[in-house]
Structure 1
Amino acid sequence: MPTIPWTIPPNRRPGAAHAEDTHAGGTNPADGSPADGAVEVMASHFVLTSIRHTVAMLRSAMAVRRAVLAAPGALGVSLVARPLRREYWTLSAWTDRAALDAFVGDPHHREAMRRLGPAMARSRFVFWRPPAGAGAPTWAQAHEHLAAPTD
């Protein structure tokens, strides 16, 4: 499965209303991000214990991706899947940490974690706030943050 490129939720595309934004400054018309530049980015890396979990992982990843694209506060999402290596990476951006934390409780996300948690050999999550106006996060940035030592 190739990389699913950075996708902006339909309600975040230029010209769309962003009623759930709590930022007084409005939104950036170019990418739907908060105009004040306050963005929370999350990247993850998962390794499955066995290739036999691949189909469940891919189905769950696609369901979670659809849920992210419909979630309040989501700014974008991308996925890299290397099923033969049992490796998966996610990259998402949110209006703030509260929106990201709220998404963790989404039924699609909870079901994926319940179903796939035992199938994980290891996982890593990193969070960062890019500088205002930085644009969409890149996979190079995500890999850099994921490779950094933990605090």
Structure 2
Amino acid sequence: MTLDTPTEPEVQCMASRLEIKSLFAAPGFLLASLPLWWQARRSPGVLGVALKAEMLKGTFWTYSAWTDEAAIYAYARTDPHKSTVVRKRKVMREATFVFFTAPVDELPLSWDDIRRRIAEQRASAQSGH
């Protein structure tokens, strides 16, 4: 993740784990995600964005840092993101999203940290908390 220079000591982050139903859908899912990555990189308020594809596991990870939560939701409501999400739901098995703030001096976070945060979110959701 390349990080633009933020002006606040903390930034809003979003991480996701997206699992598809079939490995046959992996190439199409990756191809559909690339325009969203480019869109995010050009969106107002973005500081940095990363995508990690584990094609043979059918798992895709995203991580982004933003000036504020409103910028994240503005991106999510805008095409091509909005229409791609609707189109790709049919190939999804599971999706986990985590929103959190992080100190600027700790960015970018490692993929290990992103995985830990998502695992905690999934465990919390499964236990009903």
Q: Is the TM value for this pair above 0.5? A: yes
Superposed displacement of residue 131, structure 1: 2.7
Q: Deviations over 1:112-146 (max 9, x none)?
A: 20111111111100011013532222212211100
Percent identity of equivalent pairs:
28
Alpha-carbon distance in 2 for matches of 1:68, 1:39: 16
Change (3 A) 1:38 1:103: same
Superposed displacement of residue 37, structure 1: 1.6
Partner residue, 2:69:
97
Do structure 1's residue 52 and structure 2's residue 24 form an aligned pair? yes
Partner residue, 1:33:
6
Q: Deviations over 1:84-123 (max 9, x none)?
A: 1111101111000010011111201112201111111111
Gap runs ≥5 in structure 1: 1-5, 13-31
Change (3 A) 1:89 1:102: same
1:7 to 2, 5, 12: 2
Partner residue, 1:26:
none
Change (3 A) 1:7 1:111: farther
Q: How many residues align?
A: 123
Structure having the higher strand fraction is 2
Do structure 1's residue 141 and structure 2's residue 127 form an aligned pair? no
Amino acid aligned to 2:2: T
Give the secondary structure class of the aligned counterpart of 1:33: coil
Superposed displacement of residue 52, structure 1: 1.9
Gap runs ≥5 in structure 2: none
Change (3 A) 1:83 1:132: closer
Amino acid aligned to 2:86: R
- Large movers: runs of 4+ above 4 Å: none
Would the aligned equivalents of 1:93 and 1:137 in 2 still touch at CA under 8 Å?
A: no
1:75 to 47, 54, 58: 47
Change (3 A) 1:130 1:52: same
Alpha-carbon distance in 2 for matches of 1:132, 1:58: 29
RMSD of aligned Cα (Å):
1.4
What is the TM-score of this pair, normalised by structure 1? 0.76
Do structure 1's residue 129 and structure 2's residue 124 form an aligned pair? no
Structure having the higher helix fraction is 2
Amino acid aligned to 2:18: F
